[in-house]
Amino acid sequence: MSTTSRCRICDGTVTEFIDLGRQPLSDAFVVPGDEKKEFFFRLATGICESCTMVQLMEEVPRDLMFHEAYPYHSSGSSVMRTHFQELAKRLLTTELTGEDPFIVELGCNDGIMLKAVAEAGVRQLGVEPSGGVADLAAAKGIRVRKDFFEEATAADIRENDGPADVIYAANTLCHIPYMDSILKGVTTLLRPNGVFVFEDPYLGDIVERTSFDQIYDEHFFFFTARSVQEMARRNGLELVDVERIPVHGGEVRYTLALAGARKPSSAVAELLAWEAERKLAEYATLERFATNVKKIKEDLIALLTKLRAEGKRVVGYGATAKSATVTNFCGITPDLVEFISDTTPAKQGRLSPGQHIPVREYQAFAGDHPDYALLFAWNHADEIMNAEQAFRDAGGQWIRYVPNVHVS
């Protein structure tokens, strides 16, 4: 019998297609000695039979994930800094050109995007519940409200600051199960001809690349043009543009407007047709994805076990949230991966969630190159491989597991 839950968009039946087992919070790096205090939940995803939205079967309370010590700092990647500067520049020259324009960003994190907006002197507000990163954004001169965005927050912002020309969210909307409240908030806050722009990992890329590690506690929804169009429609909004973008392993940037306010671009129909052709919304496609995931697990464990038997040193590169899914689903223990190198101070000296692999500063990797580096931050592969020529020159090899397990 298949497992089901209720859809967070339309209350339809969500049927499970993959179970990644008992998992910890992906960004809860453990202080040594606190191993027994970890929170676990069942990580599984399903597809809604009515609106086709792919989503987690179980929801993790938001305060457990987003709090004062949330360790993810957006500005850790130079590619992402450039990505967001370019987006800011584009918005400043298109949507934010009227009289005293105003932009609100949900999940501004350390201010990676709004910094350029603040520097241009355009009115802005970042809504960011995670206190530590919100402080970093404020230190950059950005106006920040330490809060979860939802309907009541939106009404309050509208009252104090007036309507927004742009509401923007990167890698944040897919983190929020209470979508009804968010979209009500968006329609309250948006100027009649304003836009709601958001970018998140794309189910089309996840299925094509078997990037199953995009599934973790914080990623509640896995959007497609079709499911976003339906979600928008139900809330008085309309999908008017889509753009595939290469960051974070493949994302789509969606633009919504109030229904009827803007004419949808041809890109919307094109992406909808592409999705239909790939049968993205069909259960059988997602079952095939689940089969491919199991193969990656077997191959990766076989490779790591062989390398251990040969006495090779394997170190993880990038203690990503994604790596929690990989290590816990595959059963990668510290005897297979010695430590994980990560440049984020808040992760260093701690243990990876669930499997308790030590996370160490970058120097631990660069100062004593291992035989193999398991690239958990594969979404930053170009940036990392360019920077790590010395590792390669020393005979080091990369292990990757997306779209399949391979050594290069």
Element (H, E) at 213: none
**Least CB distance from residue 60 to ligand SAM, whole Å?**
12
- Please state, in angstroms and rounded to a whole number, the distance separating the CA atoms of residues 316 and 398: 10
**Least CB distance from residue 336 to ligand SAM, whole Å?**
27
Question: Which range of residues in 40-48, 145-153, 270-278, 340-348 is near ligand TMP by CB under 6 A?
Answer: 340-348
SS3 of residue 289 by DSSP: helix
Radius of gyration (Cα) for the chain, nearest Å? 21
Q: Which of 30, 48, 240, 377 binds Zn ion (CB under 5 A)?
A: 48
In 3D space, the residue among 243, 222, 248 whose CA is nearest the CA of residue 72 turns out to be 248
State which residue, 231 or 321, has the beta carbon closest to ligand TMP: 321
Tokens at residue 257, please? 């407007």
Beta-strand pair 406-407/237-245: unpaired
Annotate each residue in 296-325 with x if it binds ligand TMP (CB under 6 A) or - if it does not, as one string: ----------------------xxxx----
Measured between alpha carbons, how far is residue 275 from residues 13, 213, 263, 285, 291 in Å? Answer: 21, 21, 21, 11, 20
Q: Decide: 371 and 303 in contact? Cβ < 8 Å.
A: no
Element (H, E) at 195: strand 190-201
State yes or no: residue 172 binds ligand SAM (CB under 6 A). yes
Cα angle 375-378-384, degrees, rounded to a multiple of 5: 80
State which residue, 181 or 343, has the beta carbon closest to ligand TMP: 343
State yes or no: residue 329 binds ligand SAM (CB under 6 A). no
Q: Which of 355, 379, 391, 398 binds ligand TMP (CB under 6 A)?
A: 379
Question: Which range of residues in 10-18, 26-34, 214-222, 350-358 is near Zn ion by CB under 5 A?
Answer: 10-18
Residue 51 interacts with which of Zn ion, ligand TMP, ligand SAM, none, CB < 5 to 8 Å by class: Zn ion
Q: Which of 183, 242, 384, 402 binds ligand TMP (CB under 6 A)?
A: 384
- Please state, in angstroms and rounded to a whole number, the distance separating the CA atoms of residues 154 and 235: 15
Sign of CA dihedral 180, 183, 189, 191: negative
Residue 10 interacts with which of ligand SAM, ligand TMP, Zn ion, none, CB < 5 to 8 Å by class: Zn ion
**Least CB distance from residue 30 to ligand SAM, whole Å?**
20
Tokens 């923007």: give the residue: 168
State yes or no: residue 70 binds ligand SAM (CB under 6 A). yes
SS3 of residue 315 by DSSP: strand
How many residues are there in the chain?
408
State which residue, 105 or 275, has the beta carbon closest to Zn ion: 275
> Which residue of this chain has its Cβ atom nearest to ligand SAM in the complex?
107
State yes or no: residue 149 binds ligand SAM (CB under 6 A). yes
State which residue, 273 or 390, has the beta carbon closest to ligand TMP: 390
In 3D space, the residue among 159, 166, 55 whose CA is nearest the CA of residue 108 turns out to be 166
Residues making contact with ligand SAM (CB under 6 A): 66, 70, 72, 74, 106-107, 109, 112, 127-130, 133, 148-149, 170-172, 175-176
Residues making contact with ligand TMP (CB under 6 A): 76-77, 318-321, 342-344, 347, 377, 379-380, 383-384
